[in-house]
Amino acid sequence: MVFSSAIFILVFLPIVFALNYFIKSEYSNIFLLIASLLFYAWGEPMFIFLMLVIIVINWSIGIAICKAKGKLKNLIFIAGVICDLGILGYYKYAIFFVSTINNILGKNIIAEPEIALPIGISFFTFQAISYIADVYNKKTSASHNPVNVALYISFFPQLIAGPIVRYRDINAQIESRTITWQNVALGYKRFIYGLAKKVLISNVLGLCVDTIYSYDLDIIDTQAAWIFALAYTLQIYYDFSGYSDMAIGLGKMFGFNIPENFDYPYLSKSISEFWRRWHISLGVWFKEYVYIPLGGNRKGNLRTYINLFIVFFLTGLWHGAEFSFIIWGLYHGFFSIIERLGLKKFLDKSKLFSSLYCFIIVIFGWVFFRADNTLTAVRYIVRMVMPWRHTDLNLELWTYADNKTFFVGICGIIGMGVLKSIIPCRISDRWRNSVPESVYCVILLFLCLAAITSNTYNPFIYFQF
């Protein structure tokens, strides 16, 4: 089940919200846990048992860590991490590992396993790891109530695609929370904005991207390659940030404060800043549980660069079991390192140049992210940077983009931070929570429902992770 579906908006959400509001508070966690498991089982009925296994393992590991001391405590924690990573590795990377070995050896030594990828496994596995890590580091206490841990790992608003939440940031809300109509209104408004991002912008641009990508590469010209890259740059932002907005809004409706996950990343003036604004919860996770334990920037420049290399390698690998994802991660790591080596000082001299630099680097990076393999990504980039080599191609623009596509694209560019940067704060403050904004949200919701009921194209990019 996806947030941008009629069954969720018109059936699941109203029923779950109403029942949760009227039942006694002491039963709310159990009810939301059942609702979350049903939400996940709607699309992944077989994998609900896998999630329950992960919940039981990590709840037990947390209790065991609290009771153990010394080396035994260390061994229990390591065993828990290995177990979580082992489950993630099997379902997400086993096929990639086997195919890589076979390609290196030049023949099929090992038969490729047929393994279906559970939706959102990277997200809820990372939450499970952060729970036992925080218990181990005494940043939070282990919960003796399995329902609390189960709800933390499986809570449906952020179960499928984040944001990744640390237990210590939400444990107090799990144990006790208050639902106010003010927060419900704010949450519903945030949900509508996220839904509009997804349905009215991302889906339209995504159709353009998929149409171009479906063509044979031999007929893709420079114009099509650039429209493909720019459209995907906007599509993935509005897809993922829209989902995060919906998750945060749903959290507020049920009494939870889920952390922000995006802060207008395309306004960044460096790749380092981009990663402080893009998928914030993942960046925080890698910083706290990988970068800092490796030594961070405390052990000299060389060690800092190695640590950054490791983090960005893992960031790429986390996104998918393909070399194109790994290259995408290392690509961002490369620019983060050279910015530390001195490029950042040069970029700080010009806001315009630094903004263009960052946006262009990000655009080329998304080509690697979208392409099915590295060679395809390189061929698209060659068409983007060497137009003179493809002057004989003339793919008609109307075959993959129309007036609606360009109108939505312009709206997307304005909405990615341009409008926010030019509108005075006093005007935006007056707009926020005003009657005109409420009317605007009602119109957006109507348009979204109309689009959902009339269109079957409704993918979520980050579901695959």
* Cβ atoms 224, 400 nearer than 8 A: yes
From the centroid of its chain, how far is CA 428?
27
Average pLDDT for the chain: 90
Written as one string, the DSSP assignment of 89-132 is HHHHHHHHHHHHHHHHHTS-SSPPP--PPPTTHHHHHHHHHHHH
pLDDT under 50: residue ranges of the chain: none
Residue 226: phi and psi, rounded to 5, are: -70, -40
* Cβ atoms 37, 51 nearer than 8 A: yes
What pLDDT is recorded for position 188? 94
Written as one string, the DSSP assignment of 284-316 is HHHIIIIITTTTTTSS-HHHHHHHHHHHHHHHH
Alpha-carbon distances of 337 from 8, 26, 295, 343, rounded to whole Å: 43, 50, 16, 9
**Residue in 414, 270, 262 with CA at minimum distance from that of residue 355:** 270
Q: How many CB atoms lie within 10 A of CB 174?
A: 21
What pLDDT is recorded for position 83? 95
Can you tell me the distance from the alpha carbon of 36 to that of 113, in angstroms, rounded to the nearest whole number?
30
Q: How much is the pTM? A: 0.92
Length of the chain: 465
* Cβ atoms 65, 76 nearer than 8 A: yes
Which tokens is 49 given?
């048992």
What pLDDT is recorded for position 423? 80
* Cβ atoms 247, 255 nearer than 8 A: no
From the centroid of its chain, how far is CA 113?
27
Q: Which residue has the tokens 């409704």?
A: 458
**Residue in 94, 74, 93, 84 with CA at minimum distance from that of residue 136:** 74
Can you tell me the distance from the alpha carbon of 354 to that of 361, in angstroms, rounded to the nearest whole number?
11
Can you tell me the distance from the alpha carbon of 169 to that of 336, in angstroms, rounded to the nearest whole number?
28
SS3 458: coil
Written as one string, the DSSP assignment of 432-453 is TTSHHHHHHHHHHHHHHHHHHH
Active centre residues (catalytic): 319
